Amino acid sequence: MLLFGCDFSCAPTPRKPIVVASGTDSGEGTLALAGLQRFTTIDDWAVWLRTEPEWIGGFDFPFGLPRELVAHLGWPTQWNALMAHYAGLGRAEIRATFAAFCAARPVGGKFAHRATDGPAGSSTSMKWVNPPVAFMLHAGVPPLLAAGASLPGLHAGCNPNRVALEAYPGLLARELIGRRSYKSDDAARQTAERLAARSDLLAALEAGTSRLGLRLALTAAQRSELLGDARGDHIDAVLCLVQAAWSAQRASTPGPGYGLPESIDPLEGWIVTA
């Protein structure tokens, strides 16, 4: 079964593609990076998801919205119905709806959050800028459903051999190098300090020092490629791969499986390893 992590863009381009890092878990605590793929359109990425017969993937975008937000807006509180409703909205409508929600709330509590955001340290899934995770959810979930994938805790797909898990590279990166910045889309901020942070992050992944107990095996060429990507998209895909591999080892755990909590909100979802 293909194992991979996906660094997602809701508006991919040749300069900022969707990046997929695939790997092989030896079952002995070592995860070997098999390769990196880049997709410059969502359609090409979606076709690839439907073409690969068996996979477990960790995806760097949210799978759900905060229940507080959904209830306030009067949107469907069943996940499939909510996703169908959300997919039918345009980005401008989403932005205006969420901005109006925030405008009516006090400073310091503008956004609603999912339960997973606290332990994961993640942005709310209703955020439409920096990063635009609301649009990433809008663009990313429909192709998963079209591929027949199962999203444990949320949705049982028609193809049990395709499993989609919500990952978050920042969670693992912070465990390994703290809050040091290791990437930037701005060329002027792609500094030697960020390069050093990427080097330390890769060294920690290769040493297997995280609580996930997996050592990343890289070739010299792969290490050089990851270090050279100052945007960090490739490393983020690898971080998602490590999280997906940890989850795959726990596919048969109680509840929804894959190391997810036994009881998670079936509307909001959960970030694996959080």
* Cβ-Cβ contacts under 8 Å for 106 (sequence gap 6 or more): none
Per-residue pLDDT of the chain (274 residues; tens, 9 = 90+): 899 999 999 999 999 999 999 999 988 899 999 999 999 999 999 999 999 999 999 999 999 999 999 999 999 999 999 999 999 999 999 999 999 999 999 998 999 999 999 999 999 999 999 999 999 999 999 999 999 999 999 999 999 999 999 999 999 999 999 999 999 988 888 999 999 999 999 999 999 999 999 999 999 999 999 999 999 999 999 999 999 999 999 999 999 999 999 999 999 999 999 9
Whole-angstrom Cα distance, residue 14 to residue 234?
Answer: 14
From 34, 33, 149, 142, select the one nearest 83 (Cα to Cα).
Answer: 142
How do 215-217 and 30-39 pair as beta strands? parallel
Amino acid at 236: D
**Three-class DSSP category at 143:** helix
From 44, 46, 42, 40, select the one nearest 13 (Cα to Cα).
Answer: 40
